[in-house]
Structure 1
Amino acid sequence: MGIINRHYFCQLCVTTFISTTILLGILLYGNLVKHDEYLLQAMAVSPYTFIQLSSLLVPYALSFALPFGFILALLFCYGKWASSNQILALRSLGKGIFSWGLPPLFLSLLVSIFSVFTILDWGPTSRAQFDYQKSTILWANINSHLEKEGEVEFDLVKDNTILTNRNLNALSGQSISKVSLSVGSTDQNNWYNLRILLFDENHKMVRIINSRSAHVSKSDDNTKLLLDLKNVDLQSSEQNQTQNAFISFEQWDEPLIFEINNRNDELNINRVGLELLMKLANSKSTESDEAKVLIYKGFALGTSSFFLSLLLVPISIKSGRKESITNLSLGIILSVLYYTTLIFLEEVSVLYSQPIFTWFPNLLCIIIGSYLFYEFESSI
Structure 2
Amino acid sequence: MNSSSRRRRLTAAALTALAVTTTATACGSGSDGAGSNAADSGTYTIWDPYPQFDKSSAWAKLLDQCGTEAGVKIKRTAFDTSDLSNKALLAAQQDNSADVLIVDNPVVSTLAEAGVLTTTDDNKLDTSKAEPNLLAAGQSGGKTYGTPIGANTLALYYNKAVLKEAGVDIASIKDWTSLTAALEKVKKAGKKGITFSAIGTEEGSFQFLPWFWGAGAKLTELDSTQAVSALSLWKDWLDQGYAPNSVINNTQTTSWQEFASGDYAFAENGTWQLANAEKAGFDYGVLPIPGADGANAAAPTGGEFVTVPVQGDTGRYAITQKLVSCLTSTENLYDTDTTLSYVAPTTEVQDKQVAADAELKPWVDAVKAARGRTSDDLGTKYPRISEQMWKAVQSALSGSQSPQDALTAAQSAVK
* Structure with greater strand share of residues: 1
TM-score, with length taken from structure 1: 0.22
* Structure with greater helix share of residues: 1
Which of 1 and 2 has greater Rg? Answer: 1
Asked which structure has the greater RCO (Cα within 8 Å, sep 6+), the reply is 2
